[in-house]
Amino acid sequence: MKISILAVGRCGQSPESELIKRYTDRIPWKLAIKEVEERRPIKGDERKKSEGAMLLAALPKNSFIIALDERGKGLGSPEFAKKLSTANENGFDHISFIIGGADGLSAEILTKAHMKLSFGTMVWPHMMVRAMLSEQIYRAWAILNHHPYHKE
């Protein structure tokens, strides 16, 4: 399985980046993190549209697209693992997660997404979302491979 995390903003050297690395290093699946950044001083819908275009340009072909959105569907870890497995079984070469910037995701990304996923109704810092997503991808691998990491 090939996984991509496409995100707005640079993680750099931070406690979150160490946590992200801790989980991404454990994942046997091919995983790439691609970061984009709008450097022009624009705001609101114009910024979302620009970031959305950069994210879409970085999207691997034949991706099952999962947009991280607070209004998306919440899944338990076993359901999340099954969703990844089903997408792979249905012929998608890639599973791509998209994390927007401070203004959220563009309408075009939300329209193209096969699924909108929420980590709850609270708003999370974007770097924390990357860390939580990395852990959940590792947990999904563990569930699908009957590894003892995940406890029921």
Q: What is the per-residue DSSP string for 32-56?
A: EEEEE---S---HHHHHHHHHHHHH
pTM of the full predicted structure? 0.93
Distance in angstroms (rounded) separating the CA atoms of residues 58 and 131: 20
Determine the topology of domain 2-144 in CATH: Alpha/beta knot (3.40.1280)
pLDDT of residue 125: 86
Q: What is the pLDDT of residue 149?
A: 82
Distance between CA atoms of 140 and 152, rounded to whole angstroms?
13
Average pLDDT of the residues of the chain: 93
Are 119 and 77 in contact, with CB atoms under 8 Å apart? no
| Whole-number pLDDT of residue 13 | 83
**Domain segments of the chain as ranges:** 2-144
Q: Which residues of the chain have pLDDT under 70?
A: none
CB atoms within 10 A of CB 21: 14
